[in-house]
Amino acid sequence: MDKVTVMKDIDELHDTYCGDCLVIKQLRKDRGKTRAHRFCITSCTVGEQLQFLGEELMKVYKAEEI
C-alpha cells in the first residue's frame, strides 16, 4: 500500500460513516467530546478500521525514511 491509497481509504471511511454518525452526535451532546471520541476508538468498528489504516500509514512513512 502507498500513502495516497491509505489516505483515500481513511477519507472514504470517515466521510461515509463518521460525518453523519448519530451515535457520536448524541454522545457529544450527553457526555462531551472526549467521551464520544473514546467510544470511537474503543467500541466502534469503523474506529477500529481507522486505527488499522492509521497504523498502515505509519508503516508507509517509516519505510520512506529508510
Amino acid identity of 35?
R
User: pLDDT digits over 24-64, tens only?
Assistant: 999 999 999 999 999 999 999 999 999 999 999 999 988 88
- Say whether pLDDT at 1 is over 80: no
Average pLDDT rounded to a whole number, residues 3-20: 95
Q: How far apart are the first and last CA of the chain?
A: 16
pTM for the predicted model, two decimal places: 0.83
- Answer whether residue 65 shows pLDDT above 90: no
pLDDT at 18 (0 to 100): 94
Interatomic CA distance for residues 26 and 8, integer angstroms: 27
